[in-house]
Amino acid sequence: MTNAMSERLDALEVRMAFQDDTIEILNATVTEQWAVIDALKREVARLADRLQDAESRSSGRTEPEPPPPHY
């Protein structure tokens, strides 16, 4: 193998090593973000349930709401 080919091969191996490292970092980042998204989805669902419960409890009133004191 010639010196030029050896240098090209070395350059490709270095580039591939950096790309592999970048892919691993990106994979870890995406995995972490997915966990955060899942937690946020669960929190939104929990808050939606609480809001629905609060609305159903407040709509059960049969008495009309009294007017504000400035009337």
Query: First vs last Cα of the chain: how many Å apart?
Result: 97
- pLDDT for the residue numbered 11: 95
Token duo for residue 24: 């691993």
> How many angstroms separate the Cα of 9 from the Cα of each of 18, 20, 31, 36?
14, 16, 33, 41
- pLDDT for the residue numbered 10: 94
Which residues have a Cβ under 8 Å from the Cβ of 9 and sit 6 or more positions away? 1
What's the pLDDT tens digit per position in 15-70?
A: 999 999 999 999 999 999 999 999 999 999 999 999 999 888 876 666 777 888 88
Mean pLDDT of 3-23: 95
| pTM higher than the cut 0.85 | no
Q: Where are the chain's structural domains?
A: 26-54
- pLDDT for the residue numbered 64: 74
